[in-house]
Homo-oligomer: A and B are copies of this chain.
Amino acid sequence: MPAPAHAPQPEGPLFRIGSQRTFQGAGLREVAFPIGGIGTGTVSLGGRGQLRDWEIFNRPGKGKNLPLTFFSLWAQREGGPPLARVLEGRFQPPYGGVFGVPVPAAGLPRLASARFTGAYPFARIEFEDEALPLRVSLEAFNPFIPGNPEDSGIPVAVFLWTLANGQPHAVRATVAFSLMNAVGYDGVASLFSRRGHLYGQNLNQVVAEGPLRGLRMSSAKYDRQDARFGTMAVATTWPDVTACAHWKRAAWFDDIQRFWEDFSDDGRLDPSDESPTPDNETDIGTLGLVASLAPGETVRLPIVLAWHFPNLENYWNFEEPVRGKRLGNEYAMRFADAWDAARYTFENMERLESQTRLFHDTFFESTLPDYVLDAVSSQMSTIRTTTCLRTEDGRFHAFEGCADSSGCCPLDCTHVWNYAQSPAFLFPQLERGARRTDFASNTRLGGDMAFRTLVPLVGELWAHPPAADGQMGTILRLYREWQISGDESFLQKLWPHARRALEFAWEAWDRDRDGLMEGEQHNTYDIEFYGPNPMTSLLYLGALRAGEEMARALGEEQAAAEYRRVYESGRRRMEEVLWNGEYYVQRLDDIDKHRYQFGDGCLSDQLLGQWLASILGLGHLLPPERVRETLASIYRYNYRSGLAGHANPQRVYALNDEAGLVVCSWPHGGRPRYPFPYAHEVWTGVEYEVAALLIYEGLIEEGLTLVRSARERYDGERRNPWDEMECGHHYARAMSSWSLLLALSGYRYSAPRQSLGFAPRLRPEDFRCFFTAGEAWGSYAQRSDRSGQSHVVDLRCGSLALQRLELPRLAAEAGLALRRLSAAERDLEGRLAVDGEKLTVELARPVTLHAGDSLVVEIDA
């Protein structure tokens, strides 16, 4: 029973299955694993165990590290000397700075080494130090449950410290968390000590409330409406605690000196009074969890850090109607303050942790290569970085990415977000909301869309000509949201706007309705293409196809027919006008008449519309062999196994010995004098797009090579694995990586049709991977052997109504017969249809799977 044509034998490192990579030594330097809820801001766990990049103050904060905020351990083996350490691996070079290592208290002793593993949403650090009488490890995460944006949007970070006593002696230990009360901080000022003009009247209080113990942090300096107003909290349910509301308010280094000696002495802290700070000063508070470990005993110490800075304001726009206006945070509508968020987290910890862990386990118990899972999972994290917002009206908004201390660029940019797939498949309700913004708010009566949103939504639209690619792609994304949700009223409400947006192309870009875009086409390269070109035209064709489907579903047959007609014309025109024998080119009489064209260049992005169509099950927009030939050309001309000789005057995301896919090349000359900006760059967002399309088209090794080389660039020493950059950190485009999962599993889901399908491209004989279907998710597995093939849809969360399964034919034999069809252990009636390599299992009546149910299909060969 041979494998299907395009499933290569899984040999070699490209096909490696295994656990996620581990970082150590120099590989820890750039690691910053973001922890925080959707729309809450984040704080990142650094590779050494330090908390870095505090971005909880309603804006990005790269390099903003709260002073004197760290975990520490006190431990004493029975009869041995006590020992105190900051629970971080040692600093890595360089050690320079105007006052030496530029971290306050950098000289407190740390641990010999740390090994960091991130498998989003869990980060794990194993510490080692021969001096310790205990083994110490940390697990850090945030509730992250696909389909549940609220429980994935709690303003907390959860830290689970595990201490294991492998000694024949009892060991006493304290794990303490010291935290600066940063209430009043504006997210921008430099941070070096607990002093600063933003502070004053900061108050730390020791709290015991039911089983909860902890510290509440507040400030009376700011009005409740002030952007700097907020609260912070540290809490635990561990019963034996020691706490110091605030360190000594002393000069020089005396505050640190006193705290460290107090802690080092016996692991118990001297209590302090609870009084607000003088002006220009804030406090450090410490909560310690005290444990006694018998020989062989292990304890798990839970600590929750919570924050609450409710008053998000528009700091990024210059347009007067929105500049400085209040937006608020959605999370603040659910939690009264930081302590409330901590309380909620502990009250629901079992559910939150187990569902998050179930998601993690379901995602990683996969037969996909480890680096593919890494590419997909690491970029999910962008959903909950400061790239994304959830305003108090419940809306989901997003920048393209984040500059160091501001979003960049604002907001809901249609062309960049064309690429981002993860949110739509993980939290589809958020993306439906975003389509409401796109169509109900940002689409003008004439059909031209503002491709960035001005918030709050006061009726003021951003004044810029529309983006041809963004506008067309957003129509495809409306189709996506409908397919994922099956929500017909949603579609009905937005379709009239979307129809205007689609047909706007006939005013602006395709007046002769031949299906090729012409004229001034602003696009994601931040410039305008002129004349027909594959990139915008193919998005247009995709939008026509999606429009056809949506119009037909809503009974608008005439519109559907016209879209189909124009699409068919466009398909032909693409071949006639743009095909150069290897790929599609831009046609312009004088390529230098306008700057920033690509002409005969081979554009990596030229099949973007096809990629979206493939993801959405809209099939080939162009002849399949042309798609494959084009992809092969892109790979051949634009993938570089090393970039040391690459002359790139633009921005640099890959260099030296690194491999990557350049945005464009001119293999046969004809480059315009001034190529478009970004042509020489390497974008992970495009690499994942091209990789997925290569995989869809059977060029598996090429696709996997692109993915692997991208992730190798993000190796912890060169770059942070959880921050793929482009115009800013945590760039949304890189969430194209979700399509790798879709392509490799051959995933296809249509809620309106209650149809779910898979066609694995790797290891079809023994395949398993994660899937989502609307708000539900689970694991899909298939196996085959001489006797036949079996398929299991294992639903882990939510509920899922299904009428149809589309599966691959794994056996070449002529006769196939349904052996078993069951859901939740009960047999179902159904019918198997065979169509070439495709099998369809049609249920006699729809079945609804609930969490824990499996749908099993067994087929005899």
A residues apposed to B, CB below 8 Å = 26, 29-30, 62, 84, 90-91, 93-101, 103, 105-110, 112, 131, 250-254, 256-258, 260, 264, 402-404, 408, 527, 595-596, 644-653, 655-656, 674-675, 677, 680-681, 713, 717-720, 723, 725, 727-729
Contacts and interface: CB of A to CB of B under 8 A. Distances in A.
Contacts of A677: 252-253
A622 to B, nearest CB: 31
A720 B94 CA distance: 9
12 contacts: A90-B644, A95-B652, A98-B404, A98-B725, A101-B651, A106-B652, A106-B655, A107-B648, A108-B647, A253-B649, A254-B595, A254-B674
Contact of A408 (B98, B258, B649): B98
Contacts of A402: 98
A403 B595 CA distance: 44
Interface centre among A100, A103, A112, A408 (most CB of B within 10 A): A100
Contacts of A107: 646-652, 655, 680-681
Contacts of A110: 644
A653 B100 contact: yes
A404 B99 CA distance: 10
B100 A725 contact: yes
Nearest to A96: B719
Contacts of A650: 107, 253
A251 to B, nearest CB: 8
> Which secondary structure dominates where chain A touches chain B?
loop
What are the 9 A-B residue pairs with the smallest beta carbon separation, nearest first?
A107-B648, A256-B649, A101-B652, A107-B652, A93-B718, A106-B652, A100-B653, A100-B652, A253-B649
A231 B643 CA distance: 38
Given A107-B680, A656-B91, A96 B723 contact: yes
Given A107-B680, A131-B645, A655 B95 contact: yes
Nearest to A93: B718
B596 A647 contact: no
A84 B649 CA distance: 13
Contacts of A100: 651-653, 681, 725
A110 B657 CA distance: 12
A644 B112 contact: yes
A728 B253 CA distance: 18
Given A96-B718, A107-B680, A725-B97, A674 B90 contact: no
A635 B672 CA distance: 69
B96 A674 contact: no
Contacts of A105: 649
A294 to B, nearest CB: 27
Contacts of A97: 725
A91 B648 CA distance: 14
A719 B595 contact: no
Contact of A655 (B91, B131, B645, B680): B91
A72 B99 CA distance: 35
A649 B98 contact: no
Contact of A90 (B257, B651, B655): B655
Contacts of A647: 84, 107-109, 260, 264
Nearest to A101: B652
Contact of A95 (B99, B252, B649, B719): B719
Contacts of A30: 93-94, 96
A682 to B, nearest CB: 9
Given A90-B656, A93-B717, A99-B651, 4 more contacts: A26-B93, A101-B655, A110-B644, A260-B649
A97 B729 CA distance: 8
Nearest to A649: B256
Contacts of A656: 90-91
A59 to B, nearest CB: 13
Contacts of A253: 649-650, 677
Contacts of A404: 98
Contacts of A106: 652, 655
Contacts of A649: 105, 107-108, 253, 256-257, 260
Given A253-B650, A647-B108, A652-B100, A94 B718 contact: yes
Contacts of A729: 98
Contacts of A720: 96
Contacts of A258: 674
A534 B764 CA distance: 81
Nearest to A658: B95
Contacts of A94: 29-30, 717-719
B108 A648 contact: yes
A517 to B, nearest CB: 23
Contacts of A108: 647-649
Contacts of A713: 95
Contacts of A674: 250, 252, 254, 257-258
A96 B84 CA distance: 34
B408 A645 contact: no
B257 A675 contact: yes
Contacts of A595: 251, 254
A664 to B, nearest CB: 13
Contact of A645 (B109, B651, B728): B109
B727 A252 contact: no
A595 B253 CA distance: 12
B725 A99 contact: yes
Contacts of A91: 655-656
Nearest to A644: B109
Nearest to A526: B252
A95 B408 contact: no
A713 B101 CA distance: 13
Nearest to A112: B644
A94 B31 CA distance: 11
Contacts of A84: 647
A62 B96 CA distance: 11
Contact of A596 (B103, B252, B675, B681): B252
A175 B860 CA distance: 74
A260 B675 CA distance: 13
Interface centre among A99, A105, A651 (most CB of B within 10 A): A99
A722 B250 CA distance: 35
Contacts of A251: 595
Contacts of A728: 98-99
A93 B655 CA distance: 10
A257 B680 CA distance: 11
A719 to B, nearest CB: 5
A70 to B, nearest CB: 12
Contacts of A725: 96-100
Nearest to A103: B652
A157 to B, nearest CB: 22
Contacts of A131: 645
A674 B260 CA distance: 12
Nearest to A718: B93
A710 B349 CA distance: 51
